[in-house]
Amino acid sequence: MILRMLYRLLDRVEKPARYIGGEYNQTIKDPSRVSLRMGLLFPDIYEVGMSNLGLAIVYDVLNGMEDVWAERVFMPWIDMMGVMKESDLPLFTLESKTAVKDLDALGISLQHELLYSNVLHALQLAKIPLLAEHRSDTDPIVIAGGPCTVNPEPIAPIFDAIVVGDGESVAREVAQVLIETKGMKRYDRLKALSKIEGVYVPTFYDGSTPPKPLSQDIPERVKRRIEPVLVEKLTKRIVPHMQLVHDRISAEIMRGCTRGCRFCQAGFIYRPVREKPSTEVLDEILKALACTGYEEVGLLSLSSADHTAISSMIEELKKLSDAKTISISIPSTRLDAFGVMLADNVGGARRTGLTFAPEAGSQRLRNVINKNVSEEDFVRALQLAKKSGWRRVKLYFMVGLPTETDEDLKGIVSMAKIAKQIGFDHVNLSVAMFVPKPHTPFQFVEQKNLDYFDHARKILLEAKRFAKIDFHDPKMSLIEGVLSRGDRTTFSAVLNAYELGACFDSWQNLFDYQKWLRALERAEIDLEQQLRARSLDEPLAWDHIDVGVDRAYLVKEFEKALRGETTSDCRLICQACGVCNSTVRNVLEKDVVQTS
């Protein structure tokens, strides 16, 4: 029925390729031969979701189970949403065009906070009750995963279960429990899911800050799942019908980062660093290229240049590039001579643009945020890049960082001037407002308001003499900050925003700040109160989520930041943050269980 409706409707929307499926290398199974049918929803449009490596990994992992069929689901664009509502067409899977409400389970990826309103719209389109407490035994089990689950409270009432941490092993365990409990009461199925390490079931906790378990058999803290070794190789890649945002083979070479930038949530919640062996990476890339026809490969990690075998990996890929005209890219360029050298090696003859992230305009402030890059590193890297033939440079900065002064802001202008004086044809500055994130040393600090951003903007506009400046919308950052550090009462504002029509909030041209202000007002949530500084001993909404990094370590790092003291790369000196001990202990405990 859905397929017949699509035939009649797709000529009314732009880019119908988003909705047709049938791509080469998609997974098709016989529904009668599987025990669990699961949808994997990325709550953004097809070309964004298909660029997400995490979605591809979980899709591959689940479909590797004989009894499971995982299908993709994406958010329809505005025009398609209107057509679907008008025609009463429910949200459907791409592979089989099955209504999502008829599946056994729905996994939803929470990549960033401004997707929350999309999640609600997706559930509405799927005809699934928005709140977990309103679902019956026959409704799909709705499960969240992704980076935002390290503080799930502002969106928790939507989900039956929430997976915290790496998804490979826990996805299989969740699927197995859902198979074994099929036909049981929803409460009992959720009870079984809550026994899995890394799975948080919000209904078994109260709404306090932080939430407390309602019974003794529920863990007080939910431990993040950590894959101790990166063993999954994603070789079978779906070939899309249209150009994606990142239209290439993406290969994860490393998970985690050792540099300890105090603003960077990913750097803390993906600890410890785990490298994929270079031979495994190369084998994965060769097989992925062979089954897709792609001509570009991206080596992904938080800091790809820090992989211990990156030079030899690039050397081998260069041979492949020379033989098969394959281009190689490293999305994150290190701001030093080594980073420029790697960019030279992967860039070939294309000396167009390099991107660096100094983050702050002065050495004092870079010390505060533990961005261990000196003025000399910056100048030397840019000089080497210009000498190597690069003509464009893009520099990322944040404003509103803790202890920031006007002198720090003027330093950004000076850095733009230096880049221009070195001789680049084009210097681009990208400036965003700093958002404090949970499980970082800066989870305690104040988030600056719009007046501060306007003040900073006036100072930074001086750089227009040397560079083109792109300012990220600070209003989007404010709402991101509210949701990032919110508690369960914040959900009422998310629900209000959805009811007011907020949708695709991560799209700058569709974000409506006034709708969010009205949503907060209706929920009686004070914006300034949400952005305030937290005391170091204050209970936090995410304290029940154990990511492995000790809170005492975060406090210590915050105090060092205020003193302008840096912390060494933990590959050089162990900083005793707690995560490595936690990871080793978990692995040993599992080994004991398996052998006993």
Q: Using CA atoms, how far apart are residues 43 and 148, in angstroms rounded to an integer?
A: 13
**Which pLDDT value is given to residue 350?**
53
* Beta strand pairing call for 199-200 and 161-163: antiparallel
What is the DSSP track for 384-445? HHHHTT--EEEEEEEES-TT--HHHHHHHHHHHHHHHHHT-SEEEEEEEE----TTSGGGGS
> What amino acid occupies position 473?
D
| Candidates 3.40.50.280, 3.40.50.1860, 2.40.128.20, 3.20.20.20; CATH matching 2-223 | 3.40.50.280
Phi, psi (rounded to 5 degrees) for 268: -100, -40
Residue 348 gets which letter from DSSP? T
Sort 119 into a burial class: Cβ within 10 Å, 0-12 / 13-18 / 19+. Answer: buried
Residue pLDDT, tens place only, 288-302: 999 998 988 999 999
**Which pLDDT value is given to residue 11?**
93
Tokens representing 373? 């890059």
Phi, psi (rounded to 5 degrees) for 138: -95, -10
Residue pLDDT, tens place only, 293-334: 898 899 999 988 899 999 999 888 888 777 777 888 887 677
Tell me yes or no: is domain 249-485+534-562 CATH 3.40.50.300. Answer: no
Residue 309 gets which letter from DSSP? T
Cα 458 to Cα 361, 432, 454, 464, 567, distances in angstroms: 15, 14, 6, 11, 33
Q: Which residues have a Cβ under 8 Å from the Cβ of 139 and sit 6 or more positions away?
A: 101, 128, 129, 186
* Beta strand pairing call for 105-109 and 296-300: unpaired
- % of the chain with per-residue pLDDT over 90: 85
Sort 166 into a burial class: Cβ within 10 Å, 0-12 / 13-18 / 19+. Answer: buried
**Which pLDDT value is given to residue 210?**
97
**Which pLDDT value is given to residue 330?**
83
**Which pLDDT value is given to residue 591?**
43
189-194 contacts at long range (C-beta below 8 A, 24 or more positions apart)? 189/141, 190/141, 190/160, 190/161, 193/141, 193/160, 193/161, 194/161, 194/218, 194/219
The structural domains of the chain, with segments of one domain joined by +, span: 2-223, 249-485+534-562
Residues of the chain with pLDDT under 50: 349, 585, 587-596
The model carries a pTM of: 0.94
Residue pLDDT, tens place only, 415-471: 999 999 999 999 999 999 999 999 999 999 999 999 999 999 999 999 999 999 999
Do residues 164 and 200 lie in contact, with contact meaning Cβ atoms separated by under 8 Å?
yes
**Which pLDDT value is given to residue 556?**
97
Q: Using CA atoms, how far apart are residues 100 and 114, in angstroms rounded to an integer?
A: 23
Instruction: Give yes or no for a cis peptide into 358 (omega within 30° of 0).
Output: no
